[in-house]
Chains A and B, each alone.
Chain A
Amino acid sequence: MNLLEKLDAAAVARKSLLPNGVGAFGIPIEEVFSATEARIGDRRVLLLGTNNYLGLTFAPECIRAAHEAIDKEGTGTTGSRMANGSYFGHRALEREFAEFYQCSSGIVFTTGYQANLGTISGLVGPGDTVLIDGDSHASIYDGCILSGADIIRFKHNDMVDMEKRLRRLGDRVETTLIIAEGIYSMLGDQAPLAEIVKLKNAYKCILLLDEAHSLGVLGETGQGLVEKTGLLKEVDFITGTFSKSLCSIGGFCVSNHPQLEQLRYISHPYIFTASPSPATIASTRAALVLLSKGSDLRKQLWANCTQLYSQLKETGYLLGPDPGPVIAAVLDTPQQALQLWQSLLEHNIYVNLILPPAAPEGKSLVRCSVNAAHTPEQIRYVGDTFAKLHSKI
């Protein structure tokens, strides 16, 4: 099979997932009406397949800031910070992230994916080890592969397995980076951070926590799992994304280790890419202010999460262990998941479809992302529709 024939084989598999001409992946969204509604084809749909957790995509403060930045600095930076320089906004946002996490320094990356890629590949290299959760996001896996370090997986959130693997490393723990996530994107469950920190300290490793899905969602000021657990000072490096609760695009890493600054000179995903546009940086800065003061938004978000999680559980769906903004119904086969996904769309509800091998343990997922802007009526409609469809899958 030559290179192009391999792609043809993948295309055949993909075509089996195109019911009635509508693709489950990369679905065309014709118009966006609000943080909760859009048009897909001829349907006005409820959006439960976005990561807009605080519902800030149309926040006037963020839109105004983006407009002003375009007027003042143009549409793009046209190159990397290393070559073209760092704008005031890049440096300001880095300071603001560092202050938000009470850290000495911060780095902004062009995407959340690159934040993990750049941080991990900057921290470890060939001969080092990364110890990662089995359900880690692709950006973590890819960062580890790029680094050339040995990649050891532990079973998802299984601290006995993690400890066993730390013990097996022997002297190599000295050059081992542990990586966990605040909220895991597949099942929406949280890392057992207190136990991870205990093991990290016992074995004297470095710990990186990705707060991509938990930023804005957990903790009084929205720092994430570090704030909810009171373990901010125990985590060496925190990464995250702007594309979820902050409603733009980009990523960051903060730390109290002064060595973080060296990543600017060795990390290819930071160096060899264009820096975030002025509008992106400006709207992110405005969103970070709203996020840190957004305890009311978080209360609304959690009320919505609890309502939908309870309703789906009562109906009999198998869900992840923790209620949260990521609520995934676990199904045995891709066909069941596809049927449920398609039926939900026919009821004007857009959710995410996740199939093996992306879904854990060979299962398939129909995943909802809840946000603070959903009304209780919208959440109830989604729950009722899931209930109506339960007997048909």
Chain B
Amino acid sequence: MTESNYNEIMQLLCDRLSVLTNSDTQITPDMNMISQLSIDSIKLLNLIMEIEDTFDVSIPINALTDIHTVRELADLVHKIKSDS
């Protein structure tokens, strides 16, 4: 995967999180999705499924335990896509 692919992932995540948080807050890569954006586990799983389909990957749920920020999620999706 290229840098442009990474940017595509990050952009999609920010766009979707903006809709999910339903606020005017500017989403930035280092925001904590749970403590700052109040994304609950059900919303997060729905977001993950959408990301999986968009990039045709499966994200193991146990890999999500270390994911807190938007950037960490983008990095994980990028790594899985690169390895596939």
Residues of A near any B CB (own CB < 8 A): 129, 144-145, 150-153, 155, 165, 168-170, 356-357, 361-362
Contact A151 B61 (CB under 8 A): yes
**Is B58 among interface residues, defined by CB-CB distance under 8 A?**
yes
Which A residues touch B49, using CB under 8 A? 155
Residues of B near any A CB (own CB < 8 A): 41-42, 49, 56-63, 84
Which A residues touch B62, using CB under 8 A? 144-145, 150-151
Contact A150 B42 (CB under 8 A): no
Question: A145 vs B62: C-alpha distance in the bound complex, in angstroms?
Answer: 7
Known: A155-B49, A169-B58. 12 other contacts (CB 8 A): A129-B60, A144-B62, A150-B62, A150-B63, A151-B60, A151-B61, A152-B60, A152-B61, A168-B56, A168-B57, A357-B41, A361-B42
Chain A residue with minimal CB distance to B61? A151
Which A residues touch B56, using CB under 8 A? 168
Question: A150 vs B64: C-alpha distance in the bound complex, in angstroms?
Answer: 11
Question: A153 vs B60: C-alpha distance in the bound complex, in angstroms?
Answer: 8
Question: A143 vs B69: C-alpha distance in the bound complex, in angstroms?
Answer: 27
Smallest CB–CB gap between B32 and chain A, Å? Answer: 15
Most A Cβ at <10 Å: residue of B42, B56, B58 = B58
Contact B42 A168 (CB under 8 A): no
Which B residues touch A357, using CB under 8 A? 41-42
Which B residues touch A165, using CB under 8 A? 58
Contact B60 A150 (CB under 8 A): yes
Question: A361 vs B41: C-alpha distance in the bound complex, in angstroms?
Answer: 10
User: Which of B61, B63, B84 interacts with A168 by CB under 8 Å?
Assistant: B84
Which B residues touch A144, using CB under 8 A? 62
Which B residues touch A168, using CB under 8 A? 56-58, 84
Smallest CB–CB gap between B21 and chain A, Å? Answer: 17
Question: A296 vs B43: C-alpha distance in the bound complex, in angstroms?
Answer: 46
Question: A188 vs B51: C-alpha distance in the bound complex, in angstroms?
Answer: 30
Smallest CB–CB gap between A199 and chain B, Å? Answer: 15
Most A Cβ at <10 Å: residue of B56, B61, B84 = B61
Chain B residue with minimal CB distance to A132? B61
Which B residues touch A129, using CB under 8 A? 60
Which A residues touch B59, using CB under 8 A? 152
Question: A155 vs B41: C-alpha distance in the bound complex, in angstroms?
Answer: 16
Which A residues touch B58, using CB under 8 A? 152, 165, 168-169
Question: A122 vs B62: C-alpha distance in the bound complex, in angstroms?
Answer: 18
Which B residues touch A169, using CB under 8 A? 58
Contact A170 B60 (CB under 8 A): no
Question: A113 vs B63: C-alpha distance in the bound complex, in angstroms?
Answer: 24
Chain B residue with minimal CB distance to A145? B62
Contact B42 A170 (CB under 8 A): no
Closest CB pairs A-B (n = 3): A150-B60, A152-B58, A362-B42
Chain B residue with minimal CB distance to A165? B58
Contact B61 A153 (CB under 8 A): yes
Smallest CB–CB gap between A128 and chain B, Å? Answer: 11
Which B residues touch A152, using CB under 8 A? 58-61
Question: A198 vs B49: C-alpha distance in the bound complex, in angstroms?
Answer: 24
Contact A356 B42 (CB under 8 A): yes
Smallest CB–CB gap between B33 and chain A, Å? Answer: 16
Smallest CB–CB gap between B4 and chain A, Å? Answer: 22
Question: A184 vs B10: C-alpha distance in the bound complex, in angstroms?
Answer: 37
Question: A152 vs B42: C-alpha distance in the bound complex, in angstroms?
Answer: 16
Smallest CB–CB gap between B17 and chain A, Å? Answer: 18
Which B residues touch A153, using CB under 8 A? 61
Question: A153 vs B61: C-alpha distance in the bound complex, in angstroms?
Answer: 7
Contact B61 A170 (CB under 8 A): no
Question: A155 vs B84: C-alpha distance in the bound complex, in angstroms?
Answer: 21
Smallest CB–CB gap between B70 and chain A, Å? Answer: 22
Question: A150 vs B65: C-alpha distance in the bound complex, in angstroms?
Answer: 12
Most B Cβ at <10 Å: residue of A129, A155, A362 = A362
Which A residues touch B60, using CB under 8 A? 129, 150-152
